[in-house]
Chains A and B, each alone.
Chain A
Amino acid sequence: MRIDKGSISGMQFMFAMACYIQASTLLTSFVAAVTTQDSWLAALFGSLVCLPLIWLFRSLMVMFPNQNLLEILDEVYGPVLGKILGAAYCWFFITLASINLTDLGDFTKLTIMEETPNVVLLIMCILVAAMAVRKGVSLVTRFSDFFVTVAFSILVVSIVLVLNQIKPANFLPIFDQPPIKYIQGTHIIATIPYGELVVFLMIHPNAKMSRRDTGRYLLWAFFLGGFTMLFIVLRDVAVLGNTLDMFTIPSLVTLRLVNLGMALSRVEILFVIILIMLLFFKIMVLYYISVLTVAHLLKIKKYRNLVLALGALMVTYGLTLYPCPVRHAASAQETVPFIWSPFEILLPLLTFIVAKIRKLPVRKEM
C-alpha cells in the first residue's frame, strides 16, 4: 500500500538527505561541550563509524525497493511484532520532529525575536510546513538542492570571512582528554545527525532510482552533509579556541565575530536566516514522515486530513519535552544517544540480519 503516490528523482532524494545532515550541524554544540577542541575529531570519527551504517541503510533500501520501513518491519517480524515496532518508530519520529521544532523556536528566540512567545514561532513554522506536507513528498523535497547549495556557499563565505581570526594553535593539544569523552562525542555525532537518516527509509520507495544508484546517492549525500559538518566544527574550533564549550551555539558566536572593517561586520542576521531555513527543512521532512507513519500504521489512505492535527500535537508535545535548553543539552549529551541507538542502529541491523536468515524478501512470481 503506497499512501503518497508522488515520486521524486534520485537526485532529489540525495539532496534531501544531504540537506537533512546540514540542518543538523547547528547542533554541533552538543559535541563541543564534550570534546572541546577535539570536537572535529569526534565529527570525523562519527562520520567514519557511520559509513557501515550508511551501507546498512543502503542494503535495506536495495533489498526492499518498494516497501517503506513499516512494511519492511511487517514483512520481517510478522504483523504483530511488526506493528509494535512500527508504533515505536512512530513515537520516535514524532518526538524527533517535536524536538527539532522546539530547537527552531529556541534558536529564533535567541537570535532574532527575543520577545516573541515561543509558541507563536512554532505555530507559524508548523503552518507553513503543513502546507507543504499536505502536497506530498515532491513538494517537501523540492527545494532541497537549493538549500544545499545555499548552505554550502554560506559555509565557504563564512570560512573566508573569519580567515583572519583563525588560530591553528587552537587545535592543540590533540587527544588530551580521557578516551570515554571521544567515545561519547563519536556516539553523539553518530546518533544525532547521521543515524537520523533512518527516517529516509520511510520515503525511499518514492524515489526513482536503480539498485546501483541507491548506494551512490546515499554516499554522496553522506559526503556532502559530512563535509559541511566537519568544516563547521573545524571553523568554530579554529576561531573560538578554548571558549568553544562555553557557548550554547558556537557557530553563531563565530559568525557574529565576522568583522572586516566597519563595512562587513554584523551581518550574522543573514546566516541566521539561512540556518533557520535549513532547520525548517528538517522539520518539514520529519513532519511529513511522522504523518506518513501514523497514516500507514492505521491504514488511512487519505493522510492529508491528519496533517494539522499532528502539527498541533507536535507543538504541544514539543513544549513539554524540555523545560529549558540546558536540560536539553545535558540530555542530548548524556542519554539521548542511548535512547536513539535502538531505533537508528540496532533495529535496522537486526532487521537486516533476520531478513537475511529468513531469506526475505520472497520474490513474488509475476
Chain B
Amino acid sequence: MRGIWLKSAGLLMVLLLFSLLLAGCWDYHELETLFIVTGVGLDKAAEPEKMEIILQIGKTRSPATGSSDSSNQKDSIILMKAIKDTTVEGIMQLDQNSSRTLLLHHNQMMILGRDIAEAGVKGRIDGFLRNQEMRMEILVMVADRRAEEILSAKLEEEQISSMYLYGMMQDLYNISPYYKIRMLDFVSRLRDGTSSAVAPIVKLDELEDKKELKLEGMAIFKEDKMVGSLNDQELQGYIWTMGDVRQSGVAAQSDKGRAVFHIAKLETKREVGLKPEGNVRVKLSVYATLDVAELRGFGEMTPLELMPYLVDLSEKQISQQIMAAFKAAQELDADIYGFGLDFHRLHPKVWKTIKKQWDQLFRELELDVEVNVKLPATGQIAKSLEMEDAKP
C-alpha cells in the first residue's frame, strides 16, 4: 500500500518536472514571427574591408489578400541591408533590428556583386558554408553590376527575383547541368587548386516600362578572384565542351545560307595526355545528334547534297565555338574545364611532378577537337521551299 502511494508521488514529481522542462521549448519558430530569406547578396562597401550584405525576404501572403490586384505587387519582398565585415555579422545586425526572426533555411541563392567577385571571395563565403541553416545547394551567381539591383528588381513574371532566377537556372539545368552552379560545385572548384571556378552572370536590363533579368555569360574565377568572363557564344562553347547537353541549339552561317539545328544529345569524351616534348594535349571528341530546325537559303542544293553539307557545317560551327571558349579561358590562364583535375585523376603519379607548373602547361595546352555529328532528322519537311527541285 505504502509502495503504491510512494510510486504515484514519484510519478507526479516527474510529471511536474517535465512540465517545467517542456514549457520552455527552445527551438520553436512560428510562421508569423519569421522573415523567410529568399536571396542573399554581397556587394563591396565604400570602406575597403567591409561589404554590404543584402537580404531579400519574401513576404508571406495569406490567400485572402493574395488576389491579383496590383496594389500589393510592390511589397511582395522586403530588402534589408547592412554594412559589416562579414556576412554573419550583417545577418545578426539585421536580425536584431527587425521585428521578426530571420529564417535562412529557404534561401535560394548567393549573388556576388561584381566588385566583390573581382576582389576575391574566399574570405567572404565562410559563413555560407559553416552556418547550419545554409545549404550547399544554394545557387551561386555573379551580378553584372551590383547584387542589390538584382535582388531588388521587380519583374513582371515573378515578384520575387530570386525565385525567378531559380526557375531560370532550373530550366538551364535541363539543357546542361553545367549551367547551374551550386555552392557545392563552386566550393569544390575553389578547393581543387588548379581548376577555375565559374558562375553565371545575371544582368538587369531596364527597359522603358519594365525590368528584365537575363543570363549574360559566365564569370571566370582565377584562385578566388573573378578575372574575366565568357560571352554568350563562348559560354555555349564551354557548355558543349563539358558535354551532357540535352537541348538547346546550334546556329551556323555559311555563304550558302543559314541553318539552325536542334541538339537532341551532345556528349563528349576527353583524353588528357602528356606529349613527349612535355606539354599537355587534350583530345576532345564530341558526339552530337542534331535535328534540322530551320533552314534559310541553300537554294541551289539538292536534299542529297545538302545533308552532308549540313553535317560538315554544324561540325565546323561546334568546333569553332568550342575553340573560341577555350582561347578565352587560356588567355585568362583559367582552367575552367578541369583538365588539370582529369590529369590528376588519370595520372596521379605524373601529376605530382607537374602540378606546380600547371599554369604554364595550361597556357601551352593543345586542344584537338573532333566533332562527329549525326543528323538523322530533318523535321516535318524533307525539302525546303527554296530548293531547286522542290519546284514542280
**Complex A–B touching at CB under 8 A:** yes
Bin chain A's interface residue count.
20 to 34
Contact across chains for A257 and B136 when beta carbons are under 8 A apart? yes
Nearest A residue to B25, CB-CB = A116
Q: List residues of chain B with CB within 8 A of the CB of A259.
A: 137
Given A112-B27, A120-B21, also A243-B184 (CB < 8 A)? yes
Q: Is A173's CB within 8 Å of the partner chain B?
A: yes
Question: Which chain B residues in 115-154 approach chain A with CB under 8 Å?
Answer: 129, 132, 135-137
Determine, out of B186-194, B288-296, B379-387, the stretch whose residues face the partner at the interface: B186-194
Q: Is A111's CB within 8 Å of the partner chain B?
A: yes
Contact across chains for A241 and B188 when beta carbons are under 8 A apart? yes
Given A172-B345, A173-B348, A241-B188, also A111-B136 (CB < 8 A)? no
Q: List residues of chain A with CB within 8 A of the CB of B348.
A: 173, 175-176
Nearest B residue to A254, CB-CB = B136
Q: List residues of chain B with CB within 8 A of the CB of A110.
A: 132
For the complex formed, measure the closest distance between the CB of B10 and the CB atoms of chain A, giving whole angstroms. 11
Contact across chains for B26 and A116 when beta carbons are under 8 A apart? yes
Q: Is B9's CB within 8 Å of the partner chain A?
A: no
Q: Is B50's CB within 8 Å of the partner chain A?
A: no
Q: Is A117's CB within 8 Å of the partner chain B?
A: yes
Q: Is A153's CB within 8 Å of the partner chain B?
A: no
In the complex the two chains form, what is the Cα distance from A120 to B25 in whole Å?
11
Contact across chains for A169 and B191 when beta carbons are under 8 A apart? no
Q: Is B59's CB within 8 Å of the partner chain A?
A: no
Q: How many residues of chain B get a CB closer than 8 Å to chain A's CBs?
A: 23
Indicate the member of B106, B129, B137, B346 with the most A CB atoms within 10 Å: B137
Contact across chains for B132 and A246 when beta carbons are under 8 A apart? no
Q: Is A208's CB within 8 Å of the partner chain B?
A: no
Question: Per a CB cutoff under 8 Å, which of B105, B106, B184, B346 touches A172?
Answer: B346
Q: List residues of chain B with CB within 8 A of the CB of A116.
A: 26-27
Contact across chains for B345 and A246 when beta carbons are under 8 A apart? no
Contact across chains for A243 and B137 when beta carbons are under 8 A apart? no
In the complex the two chains form, what is the Cα distance from A244 to B187 in whole Å?
11
Q: Is B344's CB within 8 Å of the partner chain A?
A: yes
Q: List residues of chain B with CB within 8 A of the CB of A172.
A: 345-346
Question: What string of 1s and 0s marks CB contacts (under 8 Å) between A348-366 and chain B?
Answer: 0000000000000000000
Question: Which chain B residues in 100-118 approach chain A with CB under 8 Å?
Answer: 105-106
In the complex the two chains form, what is the Cα distance from A246 to B346 in whole Å?
23
For the complex formed, measure the closest distance between the CB of A307 and the CB atoms of chain B, giving whole angstroms. 15
For the complex formed, measure the closest distance between the CB of A69 and the CB atoms of chain B, giving whole angstroms. 34
Question: Which chain A residues in 155-194 approach chain B with CB under 8 Å?
Answer: 169, 172-173, 175-176
Q: List residues of chain B with CB within 8 A of the CB of A114.
A: 27, 132
Q: Which residues of A contact B (CB under 8 A)?
A: 110-117, 120, 169, 172-173, 175-176, 240-243, 246, 253, 256-257, 259, 261, 265-266
The 8 closest A-B CB pairs, nearest first, are A172-B345, A173-B348, A116-B26, A115-B26, A113-B27, A176-B348, A173-B345, A243-B188
Q: Which residues of B contact A (CB under 8 A)?
A: 21, 26-27, 105-106, 129, 132, 135-137, 170, 182, 184, 187-188, 191-192, 342, 344-346, 348, 351
25 pairs from A and B in contact (CB 8 Å cutoff): A112-B27, A115-B26, A116-B26, A117-B26, A120-B21, A120-B26, A169-B342, A172-B345, A172-B346, A173-B345, A173-B346, A173-B348, A173-B351, A242-B191, A242-B192, A243-B136, A243-B187, A243-B191, A253-B136, A256-B135, A257-B135, A259-B137, A261-B170, A265-B137, A266-B106
